[in-house]
Amino acid sequence: MNLFLEPGFKTKVHQAATNDLMRYIETGRLDLFSEFRESFAWSQAKKSKFIESLLLGLPVSSIWVEETKYGSLLIIDGIQRIEAIRAFINNEFNLKRITVLNDLNGCYYSDLEFRIQNALVDSVITINTIYHDVNPRLKCEFYRRYHEGDRNKNVSQIARNYAFSRASEKLRSLAENYSRIVTVSQIRGRFGKERYKSNARIEEFYLGLILINTLLEGIIYGVNNKYSYSIENVDLPIELLHDDSIETALDKTMMLVEHNDFDVEHTLVGRSLSLLCEIKGVKQIDLTYSSKIKAYSLSNNMLSIDEALSLVTLDSIGIPINVNDFKPFRFFQPLATLDKLIRYISNYHA
């Protein structure tokens, strides 16, 4: 029996009036400030259209929350909808560009007739609640699949941050401690989508460093014993399998960090970052979002995340790197596996 099936992905569904949701916020039962939630806001027009949908009684997307063991609700999906309701009721914006109730354009909540105000606060939204004791790997997989195809997010790492909150805090701590050495380029706005994406991306980078340092222990064992870099000669931690995708290996690494089975050693991470700076001859590394472009030659201190992780992997086991012929391993391609990573190392060693 697969342990993930016990007790399964348990949820409950109920409907709540928007007035109840506002009360949840006021009493602190509903947490609007989850670390993994979207940090960008809807436009005024989009918020207005959502409010109009509620006034018209049209079906709207349900909201997903997780109920903690203390009874509070951690919002997983739907923050913009709840925030739109809260802001409108608090007269923080007026309706704009609505097309059916267009006579209400320009109105704040306080401008509406009493019956229309009641229609809004009495409108209902479906709330899907995830039980707190659901297996974290299932929570991670749910978030990833629910947001599959959303290009505005680094979905995989945000899913891990949601499912493994303690590990997420450790990764954020690493990012903060080494922020003077590693930065992320192309941050377009303080509260924009790009900034949110960069936060998750750099946390995924540090998670990748932890995974690589773990793998290097097994690879270096093979080096010291004059083995070739073959699958059979690499001693993986018992939790990792040779045919694991990199995404799955990162999930497992996150889970092990969550349970303190993997130490997040700052000395190992610091050594890896110093290595990158030494290779580039700079004091600060600027990581790019995209791992699809070859950033190595674009700027003296710029690296894609794939390039950075590949350089750490190869240089740490003494494989000389020819800058002109260097091709990074594509860690975040869907078909990337631990098997292929080890064969990549073998090809460079040959």
Instruction: List per-residue pLDDT tens for the chain, 350 residues long.
Output: 455 556 689 999 999 999 999 999 889 898 776 655 555 678 999 999 999 999 999 999 999 999 988 888 988 889 889 999 999 999 999 999 999 999 999 999 999 999 999 999 999 999 999 998 899 999 999 999 998 877 666 889 999 999 998 999 999 988 888 988 888 765 444 444 445 556 788 899 999 999 888 887 655 544 444 445 454 555 566 677 878 999 999 999 999 899 876 666 666 788 889 888 888 888 888 888 655 445 454 557 888 889 899 988 888 777 777 665 678 999 988 899 998 998 888 877 65
Q: What is the pLDDT of residue 221?
A: 47
What is the residue extent of each domain of the chain? 3-134, 155-349
3-state secondary structure the chain: CCHHHCCCCCEEEEEEEHHHHHHHHHHCCEECCCCCCCCCCCCHHHHHHHHHHHHHCCCCCCEEEEECCCCCEEEEECHHHHHHHHHHHCCCCCCCCCCCCHHHCCCCHHHCCHHHHHHHHHCEEEEEEEECCCCHHHHHHHHHHHCCCCCCCCHHHHHHHHHCHHHHHHHHHHHHHCCCCEEECCCCCCCCHHHHHHHHHHHHHHHHHHHHHHHHHHHHHHHHCCCCCCHHHCCCCCCCCCCCEHHHHHHHHHHHHHCCCCCCCHHHHHHHHHHHHHHHCCCCEEEECCCCCCCCCCCCCEEEHHHHHHHHHHHHCCCCCCHHHCCCCCCCCCCCEHHHHHHHHHHHHC
